Chain A
């Protein structure tokens, strides 16, 4: 963390990994992460609680769920159905999935706020029609180690010998491909300009930013 004026936001152009199917429409954020796991002070440990009530009975016995299956433990691309992530806007939901190991989600459709929250974490949410998704889910089931490759810019997904067309929302595609999805990194890279704005404010007299090279006002532009 030396030169904050040059923060790299990764461009999320290609995401690849093996897939796992999570079937069902209208899977809400309460299912993704039950509310009782929200009284926490960090998102860190949330991964293990992803889909908790879908994966465990009240007596902590395992239920049937792809997140419980050995063959999907290394998977990073979820294949879901329609209106995934509806319900409460809690940021804890994509955080839990990310921490479990999910890097991208392919589905029929996503709830808007959920997709926005995913974007803030650099997780693409790409869509295709229901038939295509069903075929893909079957392929993933049969090929748990098979590689899926998402090309965000070209709006394509490749698996086996097949290439399918998918849709990535325009704004999302731009943000991911151009590497401007991470507001923290994006704004951090303007640290020099931030200092200049602060210096103009009569009430900010002695504020000096940490690690922003504040002694030199000749910040990179």
Chain B
């Protein structure tokens, strides 16, 4: 049993009682909702004649189904329009704040929460979406929930949960040039496996983590769930506080900052905290990581050979064989040079301003390969606006990228942005499952955003460290 960790402390602060089922009833400080997973829950509430218990602790946006090109209403696809209208009606009736496209604040739910200052250290945060773990970057306890739990939170402001174990992942040393947060988490998942975190919450710590900005920390926590951990978090520090201070919430309520800071400090894991497990990773050893298969755990360094299935643990061999067949890769080769048809720069893992900035430095003054269709989908309208203002849009467009509006887009292909046939895609998103990007034969290679930019230019997966950044002209 862990003791004195941020997880233990935040859990204790939010525990209401132990239920007769043995689970604990946990108060939820922020409930984020979007159009795909909330409507059934609102329906169930209506059926029972219940109201939303804490509308002011609930915040909505639209991301999964929103078209990223033509966003005029009604949306071209009927199902998308229906889901959007349903959400509009639900939030209006319940009095829930809605970052809709007209507000200029719309975006992927895990980009929107942090940038508005809704995501704060020491909060419990839930959303009907597995990548809710993202918000753990701020020292919040954040996890994805299912439909009946959404109903529970809407109706009662609480969820029923069992406490999990805590694994500390200590990442010492410094990340080398061209190695990013995304590579750290891909490496963690490939080492511990996609089910390695089942039953655990991950605490990311160590020098390499402390040196990361908030966006990098979010990329790491975002993919905790791909490693099987329902939540992942990083203790809040000065980097966190500086970031928070710039957000709407604390700009509008500056007195809250000083009021809340002692709480934030108090929930940090103690120096002598006890963990159920500790894993060490040496940041100096890492290089850019790319996936060769069809789970996020099938990742290797860009210069490493693709493993032979028979060299893997027995329970992994079958999936590896099928994955290699699907991806059409051979053991022994590297992923360097793997031809791609599409480059997707987007998703809640890597579509924040610094991600786009770094990628822009790679494409600046270069041209997207003739055979590649490349697109940038900013994580939110605010990211989009800021990027346009500082000229990133022009850089991407000049290089031949398609610059689109904010949403989940090709991360899961629920709108019109999809892979076709057996297209291969260099993607900054978080899942490479078969069919994830909209085509059952589509092939996804996960990587960091600069690597995506490099792949778009070269027409194949390439080591971005060999592609020097353009001279900054501006």
Question: Footprint of B on A, CB under 8 Å?
Answer: 1, 39-44, 91, 120, 171, 175, 178, 180, 183-184, 186-188, 190-191, 193-194, 197-198, 200-204, 206-207, 209-212
Contact = CB atoms under 8 A, between A and B. Distances in A.
B313 interface: no
A41 B39 contact: yes
Contacts of B29: 201, 203-204
Contact of B56 (A41, A190, A206): A206
B466 interface: no
A204 B57 contact: yes
B20 interface: yes
A191 B148 CA distance: 18
B120 A209 contact: no
11 contacts: A1-B50, A41-B86, A120-B148, A178-B20, A180-B19, A183-B160, A186-B20, A198-B54, A202-B259, A210-B51, A210-B54
Contacts of A188: 50, 155-156
B251 interface: no
Interface in B359-412: none
B3 interface: no
B474 to A, nearest CB: 40
A140 to B, nearest CB: 30
Contacts of A201: 13-14, 27, 29
B40 A43 contact: yes
A194 B157 contact: yes
Nearest to A189: B156
Question: Of residues A184, A206, A209, A211, which shows the largest number of chain B Cβ atoms within 10 Å of its Cβ?
Answer: A184
Nearest to A179: B20
Nearest to B48: A184
Given A197-B27, A203-B263, A184 B156 contact: yes
A206 B86 CA distance: 28
Contacts of B27: 194, 197-198, 201
Contact of A41 (B15, B25, B83): B83
A42 B21 contact: no
Contacts of B14: 197, 201
B436 interface: no
Contacts of B147: 91
Interface of B: 13-17, 19-21, 25, 27, 29, 39-40, 42-44, 47-57, 79, 82-83, 86, 120, 122-123, 146-148, 151-152, 155-158, 160, 259-260, 263
A187 B25 contact: yes
Contacts of B83: 41
Contacts of A202: 259-260, 263
Given A200-B13, A207-B54, A211-B51, 8 more contacts: A1-B49, A42-B39, A183-B152, A191-B156, A194-B53, A203-B260, A204-B57, A209-B54
Question: Of residues B21, B42, B86, B160, which shows the largest number of chain A Cβ atoms within 10 Å of its Cβ?
Answer: B21
B21 A175 contact: yes
Contacts of B42: 42
Contacts of A209: 53-54, 157
Contacts of B20: 178, 180, 186
Contacts of B79: 39
A2 to B, nearest CB: 11
B158 A187 contact: yes
Contacts of A190: 16-17, 25, 156, 158
B199 to A, nearest CB: 17
Contacts of A193: 16-17
B43 A43 contact: yes
A211 B86 CA distance: 24
Contacts of B21: 171, 175, 180, 183, 186
Given A91-B146, A188-B155, A197 B56 contact: no
